[in-house]
Structure 1
Amino acid sequence: MTGRRRWSTEEILGTAAELLRTSDAESFSVRKLAATLGTDSSSLYRHFRNKTELLRAVADRTIAAAMDGYHPPDGWKQRITATALRLREAFGQHPQLAVIWGRYGSGGTGSRVVMEEMLQALRASGLPDEEIPSRYHRIVILVAALIASEAGIDALTPDEYEQGMEQFRVAVLGADPERFPALAHFAREIRPLGVDRRGAFDEILAAHLAQIETALP
């Protein structure tokens, strides 16, 4: 009698990533993953203790792939920006995983590579060592929030996106000027959240790094 196939950790993570392309963390389950692989849940629990550990590993796999082949550019701000843009591009291709990363975090190899690079970059800036951990923490929160925000929009279907745009136009262009005078005044200049996200990402990150630069001794 032929036994069940033994799946490798990498094969399990790859299949989980594919499942998460079309579902979110709430609807994803170890049982559904096991069914896709043609095995039972108990075989997967030999690799991961629970669903959260599995989701963290999938997110970390994406981070590791994003940093594969990375070579630090010159300049500490350029290093942080290059790392952030690599993460942005990787999670942009897997928007459901971006939300998981922001929610669960990760302590795997990929995350350690990112942490090391950002900490090294901040050290190269000339910041005192005692300030670096808090600065690093703020940068990661900012980058994760920006990526998760974009991912939430990227995960929408075309119909859902267009419906949101229509609601935005009605809410903004139809605002009562007596009740919402500022909104009515700027209505034709206010842009929906999903517009020019790349430019907003770059500008917000650059402004934060410039603020750090002004604090350098």
Structure 2
Amino acid sequence: MAGRRRWSTDEILDAAAELLRTGDAESFSVRKLAGVLGTDSSSLYRHFRSKTELLRAVADRIIQSAMDGYRPEGDWKQRITAVARRVRDAFGRHPQLAAVWGRYASSGTGSRLVMEEVLQALRASGLPDAEIPARYHRLAVLISALIAAEAGVRTVTPAEHEQGMELFRVAVLGADPERFPALSHFARDLRPLGEDRDPAFEELLEAQLAEIEARLSGRR
């Protein structure tokens, strides 16, 4: 009788990514993945010690794909912006995995590549070494939060989107002007959180980089 096929680590990660693409981290399980592969959970635990470790590896694979072919170009701000856009685009193609990345921080090769490039770019800016870790952390939190929030919107079904839009219109346009005077005043110009994600991402990242640049100018 032939034994069960032995799956490679890369094949397991590919299958996990596909399972997560059509589901989410909450419903994902090693047992479900084993069923897709036609094997048992114990065989997968030879590659990954836990579900969390597996999820981190899948998210890191997406980050690695984002950095494929990357070459530093331009000044320090252009380099950081290019990396942020690459990571954003990669998770935009796998929105379900963005939440995994935000929840299960990765320390794999992909994450190290991003960290190295951002840290190198911050050094190239002229920031003192003592200030770079804190600046890096702020950028990482901002970028990961924006990407995770944007991905959350992309996973909403058309029906859920329309329902949310209707609730937004009722809540904002129908706000009592006596109780919510500012909301009533600006109601027709306000947009739901899911709108205008592209310019918001660019503007918030640019503002963070401009703040670093202003600090550098103040030192001169």
| TMscore range, shorter length | over 0.9
Unaligned stretches of 5+ residues in structure 1: none
Q: 2:74 maps to which residue?
A: 74
Does 2:66 match 1:96?
Answer: no
d(CA) in 2 for partners of 1:165, 1:47: 44
TM norm structure 1: 0.99
TM-fit CA distance, 1:26: 1.1
SS of the residue 2:106 aligns to:
coil
d(CA) in 1 for partners of 2:22, 2:174: 35
SS of the residue 2:188 aligns to:
coil
d(CA) in 2 for partners of 1:156, 1:22: 12
Does 2:171 match 1:176?
Answer: no
Q: Which amino acid aligns with 1:133?
A: P
User: How many residues are matched?
Assistant: 217
Q: Deviations over 1:107-146 (max 9, x none)?
A: 0000000000000000000000000000000000000000
Q: 1:54 maps to which residue?
A: 54
Q: 1:130 maps to which residue?
A: 130
Q: Which amino acid aligns with 2:87?
A: L
Unaligned stretches of 5+ residues in structure 2: none
Does 2:158 match 1:162?
Answer: no
d(CA) in 2 for partners of 1:115, 1:174: 46
Q: Which amino acid aligns with 1:101?
A: W
TM-fit CA distance, 1:46: 0.3
Q: Which amino acid aligns with 1:184?
A: S
Across the aligned residues of Structure 1 and Structure 2, the Cα RMSD in angstroms comes to: 0.6
Q: Deviations over 1:161-194 (max 9, x none)?
A: 1111111111111111001000000001111111
Moved more, 71-80 or 28-37: 71-80
TM norm structure 2: 0.98
TM-fit CA distance, 1:44: 0.1
SS of the residue 1:215 aligns to:
helix
d(CA) in 2 for partners of 1:162, 1:90: 26
1:137-216 matches, cutoff 5 A: 137-216=137-216
Q: Deviations over 1:29-72 (max 9, x none)?
A: 00000000000000000000000000000000000001000111
d(CA) in 2 for partners of 1:9, 1:161: 37
d(CA) in 2 for partners of 1:22, 1:88: 19
SS of the residue 1:6 aligns to:
coil
SS of the residue 2:124 aligns to:
helix
Q: 2:121 maps to which residue?
A: 121
Q: 2:20 maps to which residue?
A: 20
d(CA) in 1 for partners of 2:199, 2:15: 33
d(CA) in 1 for partners of 2:152, 2:207: 23
d(CA) in 2 for partners of 1:186, 1:22: 38
Q: 1:107 maps to which residue?
A: 107
SS of the residue 2:117 aligns to:
helix
d(CA) in 2 for partners of 1:102, 1:80: 19
> Identity of counterpart residues, as a percentage?
75
d(CA) in 2 for partners of 1:139, 1:62: 19
